[in-house]
Amino acid sequence: MSTVTPSLPVHKPGQTSLSVLAFAASIALLYYGRVFFITVVIAVIIAFLLDPVVSVFVKLRLPRAVASFIVCSISLLALYLLGFGLYTQFSGFVEELPIYSQRMNEMVDSVASQMDAIEKRTFQMVVPKRFQDQQPPPGVPPDSARRRKSAKQEPPQPVAIQEVRIHPEPTPLLTYVYGYLRSFYDAVLMASFVPFLVYFMLSWRDHMRRSFLYLFPGTGRQVVGRSWESVADMVRAYMIGNFVLGVILSAISAGFFFVIKLPYWPLIGPISGFLSLVPYVGLPLAIIPPIAAGLIVYNQPAIYVMIAVVIAMLHLTALNFLYPKVVGSRVHLNPLVVTVALMFWGTLWGGIGLLLAIPITAGIKAVCDNVSSLQGFGKLLGD
């Protein structure tokens, strides 16, 4: 009895080459157009987050355009108040910079003196005592005297005269402003489009959804519709879950900093709490702000150890107990995929890529889970 061996699909060399070229072109497009794509992704994420609020206003019989305008205005006002509060705290920290600088100089001098003392003790322990007190024989000047004598005997070298050209310099203020804006021009320009993109995505959501679904044949529209809803639910669950965890960590951190009388604890607490959520590097990033603020007032090394231990305990508790229940149950990505995604998007888009890597990858998985031909990739990405 003969057995039939299933044959694997055969890909033509031309198709493989086209796939490789298309993938390389996509990577190049994502890299060179990173400012544009980052802006669009951020706007889409914000639109997904605000869409349920807009739906509440629409149920109150407000036109969708008016509801979107109200929600965007409230969001911008809340963002302005948050930025103003952080700016107030940060301006006070800037006024303390002279004290901070003096404190840093004292610590550097203290460390240098301690290092000198350690070096001297090490020299006394390693080098025999009869060689420590050995003086140069009579008639032989010490090294410093020999260097001075040789320096006097050497003839002076002629000083080379450099050519000096005088160019008219622009106004220093304009030069500073131009250099500052030039380095951030693209980012600032694209960021200015985010509120408008979010507003139009919210107000024209139904029209864009219908038009997008019409691009696909009859049965494919249901798949695309499910994928749309899955991506929206995943993004909302991920962002809201991280925000809730950040608020919890910020409140606990700020309370701890208040108890130990850390300067500017209302500013340092939220910064440390939300930095703790950055994948893989969150723990050291969360420790740096309170340590830097404590340098102004604390002299005992034990207080810095206590700050590091408390923040590490909060970080590990949130990562191992709270994060899987609040966020991990909706994302369903395995650790290897998360690591590769962080490396990939971090290489393409830098620091902002590290923050967007997980929601982008989870969105891709949500699409793969709803498309029958891509469900194998969804299982590959899943936990």
pLDDT of residue 182: 60
pTM: 0.69
pLDDT of residue 118: 81
Burial annotation 271-302 (CB, 10 A radius, 16+ → b, else e): bbbbbbbbeeebbebbbebbbebbbbebeeee
**Mean pLDDT of the region 192-221:** 84
In order of 23, 38, 158, 335, 344, the CA distances from 338 in angstroms are 20, 19, 64, 5, 10
**Mean pLDDT of the region 314-340:** 76
Query: Among candidates 284, 276, 279, which has minimal Cα distance to 314?
Result: 276
pLDDT of residue 157: 60
Confidence category of residue 166, pLDDT binned at 50, 70, 90 = low
Q: Kindly report the average pLDDT of the chain as a whole number.
A: 77
The better pLDDT of the pair 327, 269 is held by 269
In order of 34, 75, 76, 236, 273, the CA distances from 80 in angstroms are 26, 9, 6, 22, 20
Percent of the chain with pLDDT over 70: 73
- Per-residue pLDDT reduced to its tens digit, 208-220: 888 888 888 777 7
Spatial CB neighbours of 258, under 8 Å, sequence gap ≥ 6: 265
Cβ proximity of 37 and 194 under 8 Å: no
Confidence category of residue 151, pLDDT binned at 50, 70, 90 = very low
pLDDT of residue 140: 47
DSSP state, residue 133: T
Confidence category of residue 167, pLDDT binned at 50, 70, 90 = low
Query: Among candidates 4, 53, 36, 3, which has minimal Cα distance to 349?
Result: 36
- Per-residue pLDDT reduced to its tens digit, 243-258: 888 888 889 988 998 8
Percent of the chain with pLDDT over 90: 1
**Mean pLDDT of the region 53-67:** 89
- The DSSP-derived string for 323-346 is HIIIIIHHH---HHHHHHHHHHHH
- The DSSP-derived string for 79-93 is HHHHHHHHHHHHHHH
Confidence category of residue 373, pLDDT binned at 50, 70, 90 = confident
pLDDT of residue 178: 59
